[in-house]
Structure formats: structure tokens, C-alpha cells
Chains A and B, each alone.
Chain A
Amino acid sequence: MMDKWVKMITKEHALIGLSLTRIFFGIALLYELVINLPSRHLLWGPQGLAPYTDYQAYARENQFYTLFDLSSSFLLVDLIFLGGIVVAICYIIGYRTRLMGILMAIIVFSLYFRNLEITHGGDNILRILLIYLIFARVGAHFSIDAYRKRRAKEKPSKTLFAFFQENPTWVAIKAVLHNFAWFACILQVAFLYFASGSYKIMGEMWQSGTALYYASRVQDFYTPYLTELLWMFEPLIVIMTYATVIFQVSFPFLLLNRYTKYFAIFSACSLHFGIAVFMGLADFSWIMIGCELMLLLDDEYRKIHQWLLKWIKRPKFAQKQEAA
């Protein structure tokens, strides 16, 4: 019993899922930095919409430091943006993943607290999960690190560092940390959905089944043509309003069973896809879908992969390909 448990906790779980999450999170930061490059001084600069002295007073009052405390110059903002772009790219391709993960967490934290007025839920969950993910091995797949490790195995080195790295106790400790970090991420995402859903239960617009109408009509989230289409179907608005709340509140419990978990992931992805298209919240949705990806285990990803291979190779599909 005990041995079985030790075996389970020392096996690194969800390596594929967490690697996919890593890629999604890396792209999320890269996107934010590149798209906001022209407005970096306005939004994060010393004389922009969040004046430096105000930021510093706030940070000292709350006893935290960010990269922006290094200097009050424009140059620092440029450096953080350019450095951030490099770090995000390295994180995506999995080059020195652990180090890049730490830098990602620091950069996202710094940008977040430098101008709090412009943050949204996506930034918030990203900022927290990046802290947990420092302790997880998120570069096991689809990464330069994994590629280099495979090559190194072919001609093993005999350095002290390598000996330490391969020490079974150290490997076991790292695996335990990895698994708990992964578990912390899942708990945090479950807290997000449950909290968000239970706050909605307290609102009369969600109770009356019309919240979706208001949320999509307000000009911030309005999408020309598309939104009007949505309002035409009264049953759709009511059903989707209730479905959103029920899904969010039940999310943590749906994860407890393999098949309801699939349903939870499917619902979450549909919800976020809908929010991205109908309400223009693409970056938030991207990060949330990135969170869902860590919920599938390696076996499940391998099954999906095999299933996809079979589907591509099935005779009918192959014939169509030839005909084309």
C-alpha cells in the first residue's frame, strides 16, 4: 500500500499537459509584450498613465518589489519589454525552461503591479500559476531541453553535476515537488471557477437568466453584428446564462471523475471560445484554455494521439488525400 503510494507520488504526472500549458502561457506573455510595444511607455512608463512616484509609494506601503524598482528610466521599460520577449520565446521553445520559468514569473508579476488598472482575470491567474510552475517540470516535452537531454543520454557525462542530477533521492524529491506544484495549479484553477460561479449565484441578473444579454451588450464587450444575433434567441440566452453558472460552480467536482473531467474540459473550452469570439476577450480565454490543458494525464494525451493517427490513416481519409 505504502510502496504503491510512494511509487505514484514519485512518478511525474501530466508532463505532456504541463508542457502544453507552458507553451500557451509563453505565447500569452509574448503576445502581450509584442502587441503593447507601441504603448509600453504610456501604460508602464515613468511618466505615463501610472506615474512612477505613485507606483513606488504603493509598492513600499505594501512591501513588495518589482523589476521596475531598479530604475525610474524609460530605458528600463524598454529592457523589460525586450528581455521579456526573449524570455517568453525561450520559455515557449523550452530552452533552459526552469530558469525561464522563474524569469517569466518575475516579469509577469512586475508588469501586473506596475499598472494595476489595466489588468484582467487572465493576467491574475497567469501571475499566480507561474509561481507554482517554477517547481514543476514543464519542459519535459516539445522543448529544446528535452531534445538535448535525449542526446546527452547517448553519450553520458561523468561530471559531479551529472552525478548529483541522477541521484535517485534527488530525482524523487524533484518528482514530488513537481506533482504538488501541478496539484496546486489545479486547485487554484478550481478555486477560480468555484468562486466566480458562486459570486454569480448572488447576482439577480444571473438568477433571472438574462446576465448574458447585459454582458454582451455593454459596449466594452459588444461585437458588431454577432451580438445582435445572439439576442434574437431568447432560450439561448437563458440556457447559456444558467449553464455558465452551473458549470463554474461544479467545475471542481467534475474533476473527480475521469469522464466528468472530460466534460469539464470540453465545457470550459467552449465557454472560453465563446467569450473570445462574442466578447472580444481573446487573451483571457487563451490563458484559461492553457490552464485546461494541464488537466489531462499523459496516458490520455497518448490515447488522443493514437486516435488522431488512426483517424488520419483510415482508408477513406487516405483515399481522399490521394484524389486531391
Chain B
Amino acid sequence: MAKKRIVVILSLCLAALLAVHFGITFLYLTPDNPLRSKHWDKIYAYIYPYFSQNWYLFAPNPVNQHQNLEIKLKYITKDGKETETNWIDLTKPMLQKLYSNRFSPNLRIYEFQSSAMHTYVYDEDEQKEAEKNLRLYVDYYLKTHPKPEGKIISYRMRVVTNKFPRFNERHLPDSKGKKYYDYSDWFPYS
């Protein structure tokens, strides 16, 4: 008899717990509404970090442009002249590697730069943070890839956003897309 009572009480408690838990989760996931914004601090404090979640998967619209990270280096050649390189695309070679093998650590590394670029261009509040991440990535790139001969003194980044052809013109190549550029300042490099 005691067993039955324990089972019933425990079940009711757990049912109540799940109802509250998923009620809060529901409000956490809804778009902004009066109830949510009124209690947002409490909702966030409960959900974050253990049950935080984001299901904007290809939503509300899928990403519909390419973004490439490019850098320009300023360096001093052996005979002491200050020179600039052309824009170097850091994203394209990474993608080529990914197309030939998706099962590699490159997938997460690619995700890092892609996420930083997106934030850099579209999220004004987080732009400084994103720029920092892009610079970390450039540092890693310069450490691990061949550089021009001479001493690099500074670099500049730009994110190339390419709105590739829309659905009705889907037979057109990427090069026919509309391009937008976001430039960073020059940063010293040593």
C-alpha cells in the first residue's frame, strides 16, 4: 500500500515539475510577447545555461548569401620596400577541403569563421566581439599558412557578402550575384 502511495505522489510531483519546466521552456522559445517580456529575467535565469536552446534552424529564412573572409597584408620586402598583397580569400580554400571531405575537423573550424562573419556584418551590438574572433582566426591562419617573403607589419580584413542569384535565375553562376563589402581597420601584426 505504501508503495502505491509513493508511486502516486511521486508521479504527481514529477508531472507538475514537467508542466512547469516545459511551460517555462515554451515561453523561452516563443517570439517576443507581453507575458514573455514581463518575466524574461526569471525565464532566462531558469533556462540558462542547462536548458538553453535555439531552434532557428534555417529559420525564419535560410541563410541565402555566401560570406567570405578576405585579408590584405602590408609587409616590408627584403629590399626594404613597403608593399601590399592582393586580397587573400581565407574561406574558399577551406570550403574546397570540406567539399572533398566533410568528415574532418575543418567543419568546426569553418563554423567558427562563418559564425563570426555573420555576426560581424549583421549584429551591431556584437560587432566588436565578432571582429575579435575574426582577428583570432586570421592570426591562426597566418601562423599555419605560407606568407609573402618579408616582414608583415599590418593586415586588414573584409567580409565579402555575395547575394547569389535568386530562385528565378538559379541557372546563373555565383559570380552573377550582388556583392557587398564590410571592411575592418588596419591592425598591426608582429
Structural contact, A218 and B7, CB atoms closer than 8 A: no
B125 to chain A, nearest CB (A): 15
CA gap between A258 and B175 in the complex, in Å:
50
Contact with B along A1-41 (1 / 0, CB 8 A): 01100100110000000000000000000000001111100
CA distance A211 to B136 in the complex (A): 33
Contact A39 B108 (CB under 8 A): yes
Looking at the complex, which of A87-95, A141-149, A196-204 is the stretch in contact with chain B? A196-204
* Residues of B99-146 whose CB lies within 8 A of A: 99, 102-105, 107-112, 114-116, 133, 136-137, 140
Q: A232 → chain B, closest Cβ, in Å?
A: 9
A82 within 8 A of B: no
B15, B49, B53: the one contacting A62 at CB < 8 Å is B49
- How many pairs, one residue from A and one from B, have CB atoms within 8 Å of each other in the complex? 168
The reply to whether A173 and B49 form a contact with Cβ atoms under 8 Å apart is no
B170 contact set on A, CB distance < 8 A: 213, 217, 231
Q: Is A180 an interface residue (CB 8 A)?
A: yes
**Which residue of chain A is the closest to B4 with respect to CB atoms?**
A6
A280 touches B102 (CB 8 A): yes
The answer to the question of B93 belonging to the interface, with a C-beta cut-off of 8 Å to chain A, is no
- Chain A residue with the shortest CB-CB distance to B54: A124
A6–B7 CB distance below 8 A: yes
Rounded to whole Å, the gap between the CB of A119 and the closest CB of chain B is: 8
Q: Annotate B44-56 by CB proximity to A: 1 below 8 A, 0 otherwise.
A: 0000111111111
Within 8 A of B (CB), among A167-218: 168-169, 172-173, 176-177, 180, 183-184, 187-188, 191-192, 195-196, 199-200, 202-206, 208, 210-211, 213-215, 217-218
Least distance between A11 CB and chain B CB atoms (Å): 11
| Contact residues on B (Cβ < 8 Å of other chain), bracket | 35 or more
Beta-carbon contacts under 8 Å, A123-171 to B: 124-125, 128, 131, 168-169
A172 touches B6 (CB 8 A): yes
* B29 CB contacts on chain A under 8 angstroms: 191, 195
Q: Which residues of B contact A315 (CB under 8 A)?
A: none
User: B63: nearest residue on chain A (CB-CB)?
Assistant: A218
Which of B14, B63, B65, B112 interacts with A176 by CB under 8 Å? Answer: B14
Q: Which of A42, A121, A199 contacts B109 (CB 8 A)?
A: A42
* A139 CB → nearest B CB, Å: 21
Q: Please, which residues of chain B bring their CB within 8 A of the CB of A240?
A: none
Contact call A43/B14, Cβ cutoff below 8 A: no
Q: Which residues of A contact B63 (CB under 8 A)?
A: 214-215, 218, 220
- Contacts A36-B105, A218-B64 given; does A192 touch B55 at CB 8 Å: yes
Max chain B Cβ within 10 angstroms of own Cβ: one of A125, A210, A231: A210
Beyond A10-B7, A62-B49: 9 further Cβ-contacts under 8 Å?
Answer: A117-B111, A176-B7, A184-B18, A206-B59, A211-B61, A213-B170, A218-B65, A220-B110, A282-B102
Seen from chain B, the residues whose Cβ lies within 8 Å of a Cβ on chain A are: 2-4, 6-8, 10-11, 14-15, 18, 21-22, 25-26, 29, 31, 48-66, 91, 95, 98-99, 102-105, 107-112, 114-116, 133, 136-137, 140, 164, 167, 170, 174
A interface residues, Cβ below 8 angstroms from B = 2-3, 6, 9-10, 35-39, 42-43, 48-49, 51, 62, 64, 109, 113, 115, 117-118, 120-121, 124-125, 128, 131, 168-169, 172-173, 176-177, 180, 183-184, 187-188, 191-192, 195-196, 199-200, 202-206, 208, 210-211, 213-215, 217-220, 222-224, 231, 280, 282-283
